[in-house]
Amino acid sequence: MFGKNGWTKERVNEANVIFDFSENYKKFLDDGKTEREVVEISKKMAEASGFINIDLKEKLEVGDKVYFINRNKNIVLSIIGEDDILKGINYIVSHIDSPRIDLKANPLYEDLELAYMKTHYYGGIKKYQWATIPLSLHGVVVLENGEKINIVIGEDEKDPIFMIPDLLPHLWGKSQADRKAPEVFQGEELQIIVGSMPLYLEECDSKDLIKQHILNILNNKYGFSEEDFISAELELVPSGKARDLGLDKSLIAGYGQDDRICAYTSLKAILDFDKIPKKTLVCFLADKEETGSNGSTGLQSTYLEYFTTELICKIKGMVNGNDLQKTLWNSKALSSDVNAAMDPIFKGVHDPMNAAKLNNGIVITKYTGSRGKSGTNDADAEFVAEIRNMLNKNNIVWQIGMLGKVDEGGGGTVAMFLAQKGIKTIDVGPALLSMHAPMEISSKLDVYETYRAYLAFYEL
């Protein structure tokens, strides 16, 4: 069903199915607030559904279910299909990193008898949105001997939280009031309060007693020292759970829905796939999209080529000269990422004829980019038609959407990096309100239709 509100009379009567599906999705958001946490959750879900680590398989047969993990920040699930793998793979690729605030490598200091930690924001955020909200600290500290300490502080009701303080309106006139929105908070002003009470011990230096108290807590309770911050990945994210939004509970407010809404629905689709597929299937949960897909865990790395070569080798026993290129050029991919839903308060930034709306289903985005389509994959018309046909044939609620008016702004996804590898690629994902905010808004109906669309793609 194209371009219409999906809450038809029939669907309203079946709302319990859609609402039930969203309960597990909300738990996924709650439990996976960092890329490492999502990988660990996804691994457990995969193993519970019969997927095994690729390292345990010498040879792959039709119907085998395997997973790969890359540096604890990517996970790939695959089901081996009946067709020769050189005829192509059906990839669904989403990302599991989200905008957040990271601690600096040397974060802790004391000033005016308060202990603070310095930060560096990750991804495109409106910095002012992150002040004066409850934040929790998630991540990993790796000690010099290689031991890993997992950290989650601020999610349990008995835990403390963290907060970036703001200037009171009585005194903001010269310091803040005249700043433009992107500068209301400057990057170096995003600092969290971590304590205010001094520690009096004989062995403590009389200087910075509050900082010493914080270090003492970190050492005694969590087992690491100040120097260990250097080899840590510690991320500040909104504290608390995803919640139903609205009196009718038809919407979800939660952190990290860009792009864990697509990560969950594509993961669930491959886990629920209970047939022998025609094509080999891949669900790839990637990292670093919010900062340009760089690094060894981003889509600009060669990890997709690496695991695809592994699949070819373990299916066929060897890889000949252009087997990888042949496989990629015969493959199809959904770049599984979100689009911007029109907000009636700010609808002027959109072209309404080419903009997505909540409850209108999954969004086909033929191209992204900015200005003159800079930095885009412009999907082939033939592939767009194939995806349209798939959605209509399966009675899936869908719509089209572009990222705002021409020259209004823009953005990108992993689609162009997939297409550069020779894979037929199109952006297909749900729409969100308040994208990149600490709490983003999705439609429960759109979540469910996204899952149905990804399941249908795996059946092509």
CATH number at residue 278: 3.40.630.10
Q: Which residue type, as a one-letter code, is found at position 84?
A: D
CB–CB of 145/125 below 8 Å?
A: no
405 shares a domain with 334: yes
- Structural domain includes residue 248: no
Predicted pLDDT at 410:
78
CATH code of the domain in which 184 resides? 2.30.250.10
Q: 211, 238, 265: which is the final residue of a domain?
A: 238
Predicted pLDDT at 194:
98
84 shares a domain with 124: no
What is the rounded CA–CA span in Å between residue 136 and residue 356? 32
CB–CB of 267/277 below 8 Å?
A: no
Predicted pLDDT at 202:
67
272 shares a domain with 208: no
Q: Which residue type, as a one-letter code, is found at position 445?
A: L
Contacting residues for 176 by C-beta, under 8 A, at least 6 apart: 167, 184
130 shares a domain with 63: no
What is the rounded CA–CA span in Å between residue 380 and residue 378? 7
Q: 174, 209, 238: which is the final residue of a domain?
A: 238
87 shares a domain with 138: no
pLDDT in tens, the chain (460 residues): 788 999 998 888 889 999 999 999 999 999 999 999 999 999 999 999 999 999 999 999 999 999 999 999 999 999 999 999 999 999 999 999 999 999 999 999 999 999 999 999 999 999 999 999 999 999 999 999 999 999 999 999 999 999 999 999 998 888 898 999 999 999 999 999 999 999 887 666 668 899 999 999 999 999 999 999 999 999 999 999 999 999 999 999 999 999 999 999 999 999 999 999 999 999 999 999 999 999 999 999 999 999 999 999 999 998 988 999 999 999 999 999 999 999 999 999 999 999 999 999 999 999 887 788 878 889 999 999 999 999 999 999 999 999 888 887 778 899 999 999 999 999 999 999 999 999 999 999 999 999 999 999 999 9
**Residue whose token pair is 């162009």:** 416
Chain centre to alpha carbon of residue 405 = 25
Strand-by-strand arrangement of the 114-122 sheet: 148-153, 135-142, 232-238, 100-111, 114-122, 192-195
What is the rounded CA–CA span in Å between residue 401 and residue 433? 13
- Structural domain includes residue 402: yes
Chain centre to alpha carbon of residue 262 = 8
List residues bridging with 91 in a β-sheet. 282, 333
Residue 129: both structure tokens together: 């949105």
140 shares a domain with 59: no
Task: Please tell me the total count of domains within the chain.
Answer: 2
206 shares a domain with 112: yes
Predicted pLDDT at 9:
86
Predicted pLDDT at 203:
64
Q: What pTM did the predictor assign?
A: 0.96
93 shares a domain with 143: no
- Structural domain includes residue 249: no
The range of the structural domain enclosing residue 149 comes to 100-238
CB–CB of 280/89 below 8 Å?
A: yes
Determine the 3-state secondary structure of 75 from DSSP. Answer: strand
190 shares a domain with 275: no
- Structural domain includes residue 243: no
Of 252, 262, 312, 270, whose CA–CA distance to 286 is shortest?
262
Would residue 303 be called left, alpha or beta, if left means φ above 0 and alpha means ψ between -120 and 50 degrees? alpha
318 shares a domain with 445: yes
